[in-house]
Amino acid sequence: MIQIDESKIRQEVSARDITLKVHQNRFTPSGRERSAPMYETTIDNAYLRKSRFLKKQSLHELEKAAQEQLEKWAEQEIKARVAAEKANIKEEAESEWLKMRTSLESQFEDLENILKATIEVDDRLDWNSLLDNSSFEAFGFDESTPDKPSPPSKPAEPEKGILEHLLPFLWRRKQAAYSASFTKWRQELNSIGQSYRKSLAEWEARREKALHSWEKKKEEFERRQKDQNASVKDFKQRYEAKDPQAVIEYIQAVFEESQYPEGFLLDYEIGFDPHSDTLVVDLSMPSIEAVPAESDYKFKKTTAEVIPVAMKQKDRETLYESALNQTVIRTIHEVFEANYVKAIMQVVLNGWVTYIDAATGQEKTSCIVSVSFDREVFESYNLSMLNPKECIKSMKGVVAGPLSAIQPVKPILQLDREDSRFVESEDVLADLNSTTNLAEIGWEEFEHLVRELFSKLFSSGGSEVRVTQASSDGGIDAIAFDDDPIRGGKFVIQAKRYTKVVPVSAVRDLYGTMISEGATKGILVTTAHYGRDSRSFVKDKPITLIDGSNLVYLLEEHGHKVRIDVAAARAKMRDLS
């Protein structure tokens, strides 16, 4: 609706100061003198570009005629200005309407071409773009060198004239005056020279200080540049060596480079199992709010209103589902295309959406699609021709219905559980009682005890804990597989039946094992305790340290009364030796 403040325009026109310039004319056009003067003036309205010459026999008549004409013009101006403002508002509104339509059309095009947009893009990480090859700015000093001052004019040597020959005292006087002038000149010359040398020295000191500051900044710039480039090169070497953590970081960087339509926000959580060369991607996708609710905008010229045309809910859901399906296929494509070292042979993608549950009114996050793709199969697809929805179906993707319906499904999590190191576990907990000193039982028996305990701790859903072949070399004692897509993954567990402080080297070894196994978490269990070095080492790492007292508590939580007495165990070991 067009809203014009006519009162404001009227006030501005009415407040205008108008002073008549009146001229008394005592002569007729032919030059004859009148018996009484004629009063003349010229009035105008700049906005309307109108003017009029008025003349009357009296000043009162002239002022009245001028006032009436000016008021008439004022009304015309007010109407013209209101009309112009309405036209301007309409023009601006129409321009905004065209922009809104163009933006909406662009959004539709971007959403419809999410998959197409990546086909012509090389998704491999551009290592050179990560390197800092910039040069530090050249040294500059704003102050110019002080100008060397011009020396004062040297006094001219006196010449001996006739009078000086006749009157020697005149010559002596002339010589004395010259000597005084020369002395004064030398003093001025020295003073100017000293002042210049001082100014030059101060300028050089300031320049040297600025140069020193610039050299320090350049040195720091080059140090950071060198560190950054070394980090990039190290990252590249680790990725090309198929280091599991580097593979995760590399794919994460690839995803960060991926450009999606404005407002279509994605988030990625990545896990990698190097034994099966499988990458697991938990992809957080936007809700239907990322799709415009309008299908078009109409413009009502009479009121300059932009009226949104609501999109049919079915059409909106269709566009939303298409965008999600394209996103799934695009994400898989980006992983495989970027994976030039062929470290990843399979991708499991779980698509998650956060939305408002209509039944409770509460925010809820659900997995609505889960699919697994093998590299060789996927790379045979023609992305420009395939239908993303049918492609997901063909790979037996887990989908409960249209993605727009937000129907939860159980996510796929494919970790390699057929490790040759796994052996049948033994039941140990049943034989424990309150008199059992865990610090005295056999190390192999202790490993199976830990496996049993964590089987109970990981007893939900499809989680599983498996014990590895017996070894006393500090390797993996058990591996837990948790299918929960958020908190789960692969856990490596080590059991240390110690009667002394666990050395920090054991904790470091566990961390190295985690990296090589591609595990998401490490757990170290001991009958003894950990020193300060060990706890400091795990401060920012996904490692949990469980000492003797915590182990007793966990066992009691599951109905097993036990004790740990490391002093008694050490005494027993001394007796046996």
Q: What is the pLDDT of residue 463?
A: 56
- Per-residue pLDDT band at 201 (split at 50, 70, 90): very high
Mean pLDDT of 155-168: 86
Burial 435-463 (b: 16+ CB within 10 A, else e): ebebbbbeebebbbbbbbbbbebbeeeeb
Interatomic CA distance for residues 40 and 44, integer angstroms? 14
Mean pLDDT of the chain: 85
Tell me if 529 sits within 8 A of 548, measured CB to CB: yes
Interatomic CA distance for residues 135 and 132, integer angstroms? 9
Q: What is the pLDDT of residue 512?
A: 83
Higher pLDDT pick, 242 / 421: 242
pLDDT one-digit tens code per residue, 366-425? 888 888 889 999 999 999 999 999 998 887 777 777 777 778 777 765 334 444 444 444
Residue 573 has pLDDT above 80, yes or no: no
Write down the pTM of the prediction: 0.58
Q: Give CATH for domain 422-576.
A: 3.40.1350.10
- Per-residue pLDDT band at 439 (split at 50, 70, 90): confident
- Per-residue pLDDT band at 329 (split at 50, 70, 90): very high
Q: What is the pLDDT of residue 471?
A: 45
- Per-residue pLDDT band at 248 (split at 50, 70, 90): very high
In one-letter notation, the amino acid at residue 154 is K
Kindly state the tokens that stand for 54.
């008025």
Q: What is the pLDDT of residue 444?
A: 76
Mean pLDDT of 350-367: 85
Q: What is the pLDDT of residue 468?
A: 52
DSSP 8-state code for residue 398: B
Lowest mean pLDDT among 30-34, 279-283, 325-329, 426-430: 426-430
Q: What is the pLDDT of residue 529?
A: 86
Mean pLDDT of 248-272: 92
